[in-house]
Amino acid sequence: MSPPGLPGEAEEYLDRLVLEKGRSANTIDAYRRDLADYLSFGAERGWRPGDVTADDVLEWVRARLGVGLAEATVRRGLTTVRNFHKWLVVEDLRPDNPTLTVELPQVPGGLPKALSQDDVALLVAAPRGQKARERRSRSANRAGAERPDGLTPRERAIEERDSAILEALYGTGVRVSELVGLSLGDIDLPSASIRVLGKGAKERVLPLGRLAAAALAEWLAGGRGELAPKRWASRSDREAVFLNQRGRRLSRQAVYQIVRQHGVDAGLGANLTPHVLRHSFATHLLDNGADIRAVQELLGHAKVTTTQIYTSVSRERLFSVYAEAHPRARLAPRA
């Protein structure tokens, strides 16, 4: 059965592939099926090609893996979607390509890979670790201490910012797009909560744990002022919670780089992403007895079926604990 008709921009993209690239009918049919699946998945969630985020694309990829599609099939579909968005940028139909930071998850069966609680502790400590400090000193091409702790004021500010980012990602489970979209008015430290604008412009208020609240308070009271420019480039920058070194609102790509670099510093490899911290947040809550409906609300999932993927991760954890702890589970099998 052929896929349903596509939106105008997708049909135009496929026409260009035939007319300008000479793609075969079979190739176009495969592209059409990929785009139909992607766009119908998005339509059910209120997405449009012009406002899709990297998190949205990654959700689609994980959904395809979750229903058992072969990795090669999912990879081909992601390539199709990536090229479609590249064409949208060329045609000035959107300003950026949201698929550039999306990689096919290397997780068997499409299940998210969560960090252990010990690994999380290593990661959130990494911005203040020796490796991070040495790296910043080398990049600044300086030697010697300008402060008793060996940090310049700006280096100290970056430490505070990165610590607050990691604590907030793990402590609240927010999407990276929600994190960089935070403005000062969204932070309520007295009540230890933040307000985020999720998919479909749905607002939710999330609790801040003690460590996340402390890290945010430290950043807002000290480091943020150090990175603030003498003159703001825009109102959005002036109200942003997280700033880059030029005093502009921090980008999604910058957060990916921050998480990846501190993953390396913590000895966790070079493939860590903000989404892994979101997975870890959900998995650790369920491992410790949280109700799945509460986790659904915290994550901002429209459907509980989206959240249920984490119950599989926690179930694996339960079986692992059983295998390690139950005396008869640890008996060697008989020949």
Catalytic residues: 175, 199, 275, 278, 301, 310
Instruction: Kindly give, in sequence order, each residue whose CB lies less than 8 Å from that of residue 12, ignoring residues fewer than 6 positions away.
Output: none
Alpha carbons 176 and 275: distance in angstroms, whole number = 7
Alpha carbons 236 and 65: distance in angstroms, whole number = 37
CB 121 within 8 A of CB 268: no
Number of other CB atoms surrounding residue 264 within 10 Å: 16
CB 35 within 8 A of CB 82: no
Tokens 């390539």, located at residue: 79
Helix (H, G, I), strand (E, B) or coil at 238: helix
Count how many Cα atoms sit within 13 Å of the Cα of residue 68 in the half-sphere of its side chain: 0
Q: Which of 75, 77, 73, 88 is nearest to 16 (CA)?
A: 88
Q: What is the DSSP letter of 220?
A: I
